[in-house]
Chains A and B, each alone.
Chain A
């Protein structure tokens, strides 16, 4: 599998990272080098192997379904680049 410039453009769009046209070829080269290197995983017979879902055997605990925090709008907004009337402000989304 080889990544071409169009693929880089597509995944950069998915990742919401602006990429200039001139950045596409070097990025494609780097990604291909890494993807080529990880190809060696194809040598491994994994037919009977389950994917790892948890690094350490453990049972997830359940907690009470209760509200334990809240009422801290100032804390939540204090690092935002732009706020108004207790809301985050973003560029207009709906026409």
Chain B
């Protein structure tokens, strides 16, 4: 039944409802793919027996007419979401053996809708990275390779395992989280759709916290329609997260009308950065033409503070991380290293348990929050953040949605950027502003680089206007007609 994996989420859902195949058959098809995909290192934990059990229960509900909106759909879950009784690591040594006694709200929503858990997906440690190379469990390998070149490439990060697993069809769809681009950037680098909703759209409860004012969960899928379906099930108000917003969740699939006549699309001059490769510029131009062909009106806009987004992010995010990660102390869960007293036990545990990038960010965060530096760094960055949000607010007086490239280039070789943190951070130059402003963004696969690798275009929308975002993304997807697939070398 290997052809089952060719169905996207929407088609699989329809096939299950029409009883063309069972949820167990669909899940078993993916379990076989997951087992053959070991070389990609997408999964930290696989739960095949539990998956079959869940699929069997789905078949029962499909039979008796009580099926949920994701009944029998096999998903991978980024290993940043706490899953009851299933190891949850955040790809960090410091969470060794942590099996939560509770379920994150987003994943609980998915199981409530009938979805099936295949396993927990690899990521950068605590979601800190843009290449998935900081995972304690080893890097994820991008299923895509350059043409005529076997060199392993990164899948992007931090939701690299999610993106690679969706691209390689090891799961039907996956969850990700996005703090500075961690859904959209790996989506672009793997030829998949990655969607970060508005801050507050999905509950953060039960998601291992990185930077609480920026973190947001979202869907990673093969198509825009699949992203709309998955977000529908993930989103919603939650009393356990005071920043989750109490608004009705619209029918996102219904927004995919294919009609963007009269839509005003902003093209921000500041995203034409120095040294941007010609192929990225070309793709961006193509995207503009596709939207114009669909009847949209293109409008040049300015987002003057764009260049300050990345440095502001690299103050705000580490500051919040240093505070959030204070909880890993060797007392309540995870790793403990001995010490002669309590403080030394803390220090030894955290020295052993955190990887280099996480330590670097905790130290930066501690420094910028420490006495005498708080105003100069953290408060200044939060003021710049206000300016960035105001740039967007002013732009949305004139336009409905903004089109940009997702990344400044395609996937790069494993190891190519690990020595220079700032060159790694620059991967997120186009994605970070939406996080700082709390806005929804989506990356749609739009073409191939000269080297044969996927490239993405990003749309950024108004707060809580995911519907317009999906509508425009659907048109972009249709016009781009991205049908390329990686060679399945990992099955050899």
Contacts and interface: CB of A to CB of B under 8 A. Distances in A.
Interface of A: 1, 3, 7-8, 11-19, 27, 30-31, 33-35, 37-38, 40-44, 46, 49-58, 60-61, 63, 72, 75-76, 78-82, 88, 90-93
B383 A49 contact: yes
Contact of A14 (B308, B333, B370, B376): B370
Given A34-B422, A44-B308, A79 B363 contact: no
A44 B129 CA distance: 27
Contact of B363 (A12, A46, A54, A76): A12
Given A50-B383, A52-B382, A55-B214, A38 B366 contact: no
Contact of B331 (A17, A33, A37, A81): A81
Given A11-B363, A15-B350, A79 B333 contact: yes
B360 A55 contact: no
A16 B343 contact: yes
B442 to A, nearest CB: 17
B354 interface: yes
Q: Which of A15, A80, A93 has most B Cβ within 10 Å?
A: A15
A31 B101 contact: no
Interface stretch (B120-128, B239-247, B281-289, B452-460): B239-247
A55 B178 CA distance: 14
A30 B360 contact: yes
B240 to A, nearest CB: 10
Report, nearest first, the 9 A-B pairs whose CB atoms are least far apart.
A55-B438, A51-B382, A79-B333, A75-B101, A81-B336, A18-B351, A18-B347, A46-B383, A38-B311
Majority SS of interface residues in chain A?
Answer: loop
20 contacts: A14-B370, A16-B329, A19-B351, A38-B311, A41-B311, A44-B380, A51-B379, A52-B386, A53-B382, A56-B198, A56-B199, A56-B200, A56-B243, A57-B463, A61-B242, A63-B239, A80-B333, A81-B336, A91-B345, A92-B341
A90 to B, nearest CB: 5
B386 A91 contact: no
Contacts of A17: 347, 350-351, 354, 359, 362-363
A48 B308 CA distance: 17
B384 interface: yes
Contacts of A57: 463
A49 B336 contact: no
Contacts of B482: none
A83 B464 CA distance: 45
Given A41-B308, A44-B305, 9 more contacts: A11-B367, A15-B362, A16-B346, A38-B311, A55-B389, A79-B334, A80-B332, A82-B336, A91-B340
B367 A31 contact: yes
A27 B360 contact: yes
B335 interface: yes
A54 to B, nearest CB: 8
Given A18-B350, A44-B387, A56-B463, A79 B377 contact: no
Interface residues of B, number: 75
A37 B422 contact: yes
Nearest to A12: B363
Q: Which of A1, A30, A33 has most B Cβ within 10 Å?
A: A30
A14 B98 CA distance: 26
Contacts of B311: 37-38, 40-41
B312 interface: yes
Contacts of A12: 363
B110 to A, nearest CB: 22
Contacts of A42: 380
Contacts of B102: 75
A31 B356 CA distance: 12
A53 B109 CA distance: 29
A56 B245 contact: yes
A12 to B, nearest CB: 6
A81 B335 contact: yes
B479 to A, nearest CB: 31
A79 B97 contact: yes
A48 B354 CA distance: 39
Nearest to B348: A18
Given A58-B243, A58-B245, A90-B342, A81 B330 contact: yes
A46 B380 contact: yes
A34 B422 CA distance: 7
B437 interface: yes
B125 to A, nearest CB: 14
B367 A16 contact: no
B5 interface: no
B213 interface: yes
